[in-house]
Amino acid sequence: MQPESNDKQPALDRSAIHLLHRAGQRAGDMFTEEVVAGNLTPRQFAILLTISKEEGLSQTDMVDRTGIDRSTLADIIRRMLKKGFIRRRRTKHDARVYSVKLTDEGRAALAMAEPAAILADARLLAALPKARRVEFLESLSVIVDAFSASNGKNST
């Protein structure tokens, strides 16, 4: 239940959903500021990084790994194909399924963006005292894991 302010309106400064949304906005802004040369969004970066760790993933596997919903992922994949960052091929086991791999351009974009993404993370975490940073990341992971589709629970 939501704590309320004196005028019976929800207290946004105590709303986990609102504060996570606002923190996500700030994190996205920091990422964009740092990764200007790479011309990548945080989600595109997440996809490139995920593919680089496991070449040949299917789009379904990427949904599971990144938490990006299917329709959004499909749109991002289309844009990244146009940019030449990835290539996809039908799998040998199931002609309905695509396997996705990085191109040389995709590897270059990831290599350019990765140091900037690390810097954006560091800037964001610098808002917290050093002693609370690991706990903060662990708490976020607990929340994500508790509601991930792979655990059979609701996810968006």
pLDDT tens track for 21-45 = 999 999 999 999 888 766 789 999 9
Say yes or no to pLDDT of 60 above 70: yes
How far CA 60 is from CA of 48, 57, 64, 65, in Å, comes to 15, 8, 6, 9
pTM more than 0.85: no
Say yes or no to pLDDT of 9 above 70: no
Classify domain 16-148 by CATH number: 1.10.10.10
User: Tokens for 62?
Assistant: 């990427």
Sheet containing 98-102: give its strands across.
Answer: 57-58, 98-102, 86-90
Spans of all domains in the chain: 16-148
- CB-based contacts of 146: which residues, under 8 Å, 6+ apart? 153
Structure confidence at residue 149 (pLDDT)? 56
